[in-house]
Amino acid sequence: MNLSKSRYCKGVQCPKMLWMDKYMPEKAADLNNERIFETGNIVGDLAMGYFGDFTEVPYADNKSEMVEETAKLLAAGTQNICEASFVCDGLFCAVDILHKNGDGWDIVEVKSSTELHEIYLHDMAFQCYVLRKNGLNIKGVFNLHINNSYVRYGDLDLKGLFTLEDCTETVFAMQDDVPGNIEYINAYIDSAGENEPEMDISLSCQNPYECAYWPWCARHLPSPSVFDISRLPAKKKFEMYDSGITGYGDVIDKKPKLSKNQLRQVEAAFYHLPDEIDKEGIRECLAGFTYPLYHLDFETTQYAIPPYDGMKPYQQMPFQYSLHVQEFAGAEPEHYEFLGKEGTDPRRALAERLCEDIPEDVCVLAYNMGFEKGRIKELADLYPDLAPHLMKIHDNIKDLMIPFQKQYYYSEKLCGSYSIKYVLPALCPGDPELDYHALEGVHKGDEASAAFADLPNHTPEEIAVIRKNLLAYCRLDTLAMVKVLERLREMISLK
């Protein structure tokens, strides 16, 4: 039982991953995948009821127990067996749902993604192979994934929430490749023994999943390397790497095709060029910002399974905002904030407070305004009575990111990024009040998202602490905007 479906899929992506798991697991970076795993479990549990009544094979460390339990359920003519477990020739797999289909069975693999990915086909091909080896008549193979156009109203409709995609033909066609893949993976591990195998980095390191061993396997790269070039597709990065272009010096020598901005990133870092300021460009951007100025930032979270009416799977649900209001340029800002109550739908209360806090006719500033505008438009669609006011706020939003996106200010320190997390330390270095690292518990958007979603699972005391951390984090996002704007104004000598 030494090759499971997940290990088989890893082996298909890169057999060295299995070797690393065995001999150097401590080299794995923490990819913060906990929320993804948790989502997978929630979706998997819910999907068990897709075909109606089902029996789940209880998890056991001793897989033989799961296999024996499955055999009993098969013999009893059970219609839907979840976690149906099989072994053969050192292979083990647990099928998410084994669904009776006439005189045979359908394999159903559940995924929390919103579409079929190629690696799932390998996963299903492995399961089909193992089950056939066990003598089962496999009639169909399906991928059950989330349908992101589903909108929840009332009770969950499993047939609407999930899409059942027929992969039978493709998976059957892949059957001949499975034994060869198994042989290759086993031989690779055996022949390496305890010596780290030589496996050069390749697109497989990032596709279909980012490999946790990347920092270890890529340790020979110079810093910075072509893999740090901003907005360059992974395929292009590996093409450069494969042709011997690894460091920024190689880029300058060999001149691969890059965009103007990418080349600027490389040259600024390589030659340590001084910051560049296009005063006229910045002035044009800032000309549209009028006072009083409302600096706004949302925090959002996503759920694979929409918890509230009117929500789609993975829709960005705003649960918090921070607002710094400046009456005039350079004025001490006033702060407003909203944070939804844990375990409840925060959207209505948030939309109402937003309308209370932001008048219809003021200039609102966001950083990457498409995101804030998108959320406000969704709230307006959901609450028609608030829509006129919300859409006024929406229409009045201006974007503080533009001067950086257009590179009217450029510094080596931005590393080609225009995220505020790069812009802020470049413009306001060493200011302890603006240090995200100094915050407790929540330091970035995805941590805020996970913290809010997880709030109902905590004690009241813990909730109080997490809420405080969330408020401090979001507050810093809009304070950062105030400070960045101040610095831009100083650059062009506008007070």
Nearest residue (CB) to ligand SF4, 93 versus 205: 205
- The enclosing H or E element of 351 equals helix 347-357
Residue 467 is a binding residue for ligand SF4 (CB under 6 A):
no
Distances (CA, A) of 251 to 263, 368, 450, 482: 9, 30, 39, 37
CB of 126 to ligand SF4, least distance (A): 19
Among 3, 9, 17, 390, binds ligand SF4 (CB under 6 A): 17
Please tell me whether residue 14 binds ligand SF4 under the rule CB under 6 A. Answer: yes
Q: What are phi and psi of 53, to 5 degrees?
A: -60, 145
Q: Is 211 in the site for ligand SF4 (CB under 6 A)?
A: yes
d(CA 73, CA 86): 12
Which three-class secondary structure state does DSSP give residue 83? strand
**In angstroms, what is the minimal distance from the CB of 7 to ligand SF4?**
13
Q: Which of 172, 214, 314, 383 binds ligand SF4 (CB under 6 A)?
A: 214
Q: How many residues bind ligand SF4 (CB under 6 A)?
A: 12
- Whose Cβ is closer to ligand SF4: residue 199's or residue 339's? 199
Please choose, out of 31-39, 98-106, 213-221, 255-263, the segment that lies near ligand SF4 by the rule CB under 6 A: 213-221
Determine, following the binding rule CB under 6 A, whether residue 201 of this chain makes contact with ligand SF4: yes
Q: Count the Cβ atoms, other than its own, within 10 Å of residue 211.
A: 23
Pairing of strands 363-366, 293-301: parallel
Smallest distance from the beta carbon of 218 to ligand SF4, in angstroms? 7
Token readout for 196 is 């780290």
Residue with smaller CB distance to ligand SF4, 54 or 238:
238
Amino acid, single-letter form, for residue 292: P
DSSP, residue by residue, 160-212: HHEEEEE-HHHHHHTTTHHHHHHHHHHHHHHHHTTSPP-----GGGTSSS--T
Rounded Cα–Cα distance for residues 373 and 350 (Å) = 14
Among the listed residues 205, 350, 364, 442, the single contact to ligand SF4 using CB under 6 A: 205
Residue 302 makes contact with ligand SF4 by CB under 6 A: no
**For residue 362, which of 330, 338, 394 has the smallest C-alpha distance?**
394
**Residues 6+ away with beta carbon under 8 Å from 287:** none
Identity of the residue, 211 or 390, whose beta carbon is nearer to ligand SF4 in the bound complex: 211
From 16-24, 388-396, 437-445, 451-459, give the range in contact with ligand SF4 by CB under 6 A.
16-24
User: Given candidates 199, 229, 390, 420, which one binds ligand SF4 under the rule CB under 6 A?
Assistant: 199
Nearest CA-CA partner of 100 in 84, 123, 121: 84
What's the closest the beta carbon of residue 196 comes to ligand SF4, in angstroms? Answer: 10
Question: Stretches 49-57, 146-154, 205-213, 324-332: which one binds ligand SF4 (CB under 6 A)?
Answer: 205-213
Q: How far is the CB of 213 from ligand SF4 (least distance, A)?
A: 4
Cα–Cα distance, 66 to 56 (Å, whole number) = 10
The reply to whether 16 sits near ligand SF4 by the rule CB under 6 A is: yes
Our finding on whether 213 is near ligand SF4 (CB under 6 A) is: yes
User: Which residues would be at the binding site for ligand SF4 (CB under 6 A)?
Assistant: 14, 16-17, 20, 199, 201, 204-205, 211, 213-214, 217
